[in-house]
Amino acid sequence: MFFALPQFGAEVVLPTSPKAWGILVAFGVLTIALAQFLFFDALGRIEASRASLATAVEPVVAALLATLLLGQGLEPTGWAGIALVVAGVVGVGLSVPDSD
């Protein structure tokens, strides 16, 4: 994004204080690096079919959180997309045999 934004006429504004840089680094480490570490750690612990279900549900959760917490709302096609993803996940979940 750092190199792409100027191509579209947007200015890249970098933090100006050490506190702002610290917050930026903490945000990057906590939300990206830690999340990726936990995700790949979980992938090593669960079977592939369950991991694919969890990965498919991720955008649904993001859309619902954006709607509920940020008030961004979804258009009817967005709700239809969520319904299709949930239906697909349920269908796959029902067809995956339990390993218990």
Query: Residue 7 domain-assigned?
Result: no
Question: Do 64 and 95 reside in the same domain of the chain?
Answer: yes
Question: Do 93 and 70 reside in the same domain of the chain?
Answer: yes
- Considering only CA atoms, which of 42, 85, 90, 39 is closest in space to residue 63? 85
Structure token pair of residue 44: 């090593």
Q: Digits of tens for pLDDT over the chain (100 positions)? A: 567 777 888 888 889 999 999 999 998 888 888 888 988 888 888 887 778 787 888 888 888 898 889 888 888 998 999 899 889 888 877 776 665 5
Query: Residue 10 domain-assigned?
Result: no
Q: Residue 1: its pLDDT value, please?
A: 58
Residue at a domain's end among 5, 25, 45:
45
Question: Domain limits at 54?
Answer: 47-100
Q: Residue 59: its pLDDT value, please?
A: 86
Query: Residue 52 domain-assigned?
Result: yes
Q: Residue 17: its pLDDT value, please?
A: 95
Helices (H), 29-70: 34-45, 48-70
Query: Residue 3 domain-assigned?
Result: no
Q: Residue 48: its pLDDT value, please?
A: 78
